[in-house]
Chains A and B, each alone.
Chain A
């Protein structure tokens, strides 16, 4: 159906997409996890209430999340150039992807941590746990199944963003779909890229579901 060249191009697209998605997810979690934890402990009634910090972070997260990704990508080009040296290619795409996804991850982490029973946190406090011990030994471990579940959602969302980045210089399957399907009317290639994207999402989601279930000690 396709010649060897097209197939290797598609495979490279898959690789580029996976690379952008996973690297961006990783960095989004580095920042998003910290923001999520801060949102939870600094809120009113949290273990270290700090209304000012909470309010600032809350607004920043909301602002970034309401930015349309395509516009954000273009808007941060100067920053991307500063960090990566170029504004096109896979590595360049990671910068706007992380900026767009980290606040989203922060919200996912926040909602996972808020599911942890307040009574368990109180019990830890009654045993003399410090704030850091509560975060590392109570909040994060108790929320692990929910955090894993959230990470599958985050990964698939970032995958979607990465495909969009194909429109303005990003690589991967999104670029192929736009280049061949939109610019050259080669709908067969576009069709294949879409199918590949669907398969990747399915795989991520299945791994997420499996790992969530496996990590949870509440239903065994």
Chain B
């Protein structure tokens, strides 16, 4: 069997600058990312960090001012308009505001990209019906967007994005306008599509929960640069940068500025043991729990806790030793 190991998207030294009032503003600077086939790749950042610009550079809705984007091994930055239109057909995109054609029915919205590609009306309708079934909307084919709920509109958006059999699905804050249960169902649909059709998914979001729930890899973008990138679990367990820690920890905990604060992450095994109880017994001093919560990462529940270790030097060493022996990762938070 031929195994294609070439990453589907490779971004090298990507740069986007805008000229505003004679000063150059960098929206993106020296972005390097590798997205493998079948990834659900999350790009997370605060508003204004450049994540929307980045996703628009990937399908060239924004022309980068420097660097390269390799799509299936070819640098698309040098492509002309006609070649780019073909590339875009290989990349479906869904949006925060759905961006459906309001004067077309759900079925005709899904037909739209096929019409653009010159597919015959009958073939387009057949394909569109299949796709509406895939997203669970076959009974609303004749409805207009104004008659659909937010979640249903996004399902039409997804069906539309899949119409041209793309290799990549770009999701630009696709669940940000939806309520939590609907977000959940759309994420499940995206994950299902990734697994069943083998489509690479790129998710742009500002919410860490979304990354944790569906992505296998994540890149944290801040001030137009990639602060940190890697597998979601790695970033969650060992955030290396300030930006990553801010996303992994809730805001109120970041505000804690006490000394001797440590973060513990529990995996499936350690959550069955009375870790803190044992630690108290081992060091013989009370331990202050500052924060505790569970997170769902890729379908597995993980716990994280922030504790304050005793002031007594000897007790502190004992607590650390205990952690080392029991294989618990204690991460000092003094630089937060």
Chain A residues with CB under 8 Å of chain B are 117, 119-120, 122-130, 133, 137-138, 141-142, 144-145, 215-220
Contact = CB atoms under 8 A, between A and B. Distances in A.
Contacts of A215: 103
A22 to B, nearest CB: 26
B116 A217 contact: no
18 contacts: A119-B95, A119-B97, A119-B99, A122-B95, A122-B99, A125-B61, A127-B89, A127-B93, A127-B113, A128-B87, A129-B85, A137-B112, A137-B115, A215-B103, A218-B144, A218-B145, A220-B146, A220-B147
Contacts of A137: 112, 115-116
Given A126-B61, A128-B116, A137-B115, A217 B86 contact: no
Given A126-B88, A128-B89, A217-B104, 4 more contacts: A119-B95, A141-B101, A141-B103, A220-B144
Interface string B38-51: 00000000000000
Contacts of A119: 95, 97, 99
Considering the complex of A and B, which 9 residue pairs feature the smallest CB-CB distances, nearest first? A128-B85, A123-B99, A128-B88, A127-B113, A119-B99, A126-B93, A217-B144, A128-B89, A218-B146
B71 to A, nearest CB: 13
A117 B89 contact: no
A128 B103 contact: no
Contacts of A122: 61, 95, 99
Interface string B48-92: 000000000001010000000000000000000100111111011
Contacts, number: 81
Contact of A128 (B104, B117, B144, B147): B117
A126 B59 contact: yes
B164 interface: yes
A118 B15 CA distance: 25
Interface in B153-191: 160, 164, 170
B100 interface: yes
A127 B99 contact: no
A142 B103 contact: yes
Nearest to A121: B99
B19 interface: no
Contacts of B87: 128
Contacts of A129: 85, 116
B102 interface: yes
B91, B101, B113, B146 interface centre (most CB from chain A within 10 Å): B101
Contacts of B101: 120, 138, 141-142
B106 to A, nearest CB: 11
A219 B88 contact: no
Interface in B134-155: 144-147
Residue among B81, B84, B87, B99 having the largest count of chain A Cβ atoms under 10 Å: B99
A117 B99 contact: yes
A211 to B, nearest CB: 14
A57 B221 CA distance: 43
B333 to A, nearest CB: 41
Interface string B184-220: 0000000000000000000000000000000000000
A125 B62 CA distance: 11
B97 A217 contact: no
B144 A123 contact: no
A217 B191 CA distance: 32
A126 B89 CA distance: 8
Nearest to B113: A127
Contact of B102 (A125, A127, A130, A218): A218
A129 to B, nearest CB: 5
A117 B59 CA distance: 20
B84 to A, nearest CB: 8
Contacts of B85: 128-130
Contacts of A117: 97, 99, 102
B115 A126 contact: no
Contact of B116 (A133, A142, A144, A220): A133
Nearest to A126: B93
B91 A126 contact: yes
A138 B100 CA distance: 10
Interface string B240-277: 00000000000000000000000000000000000000
Contacts of B170: 126
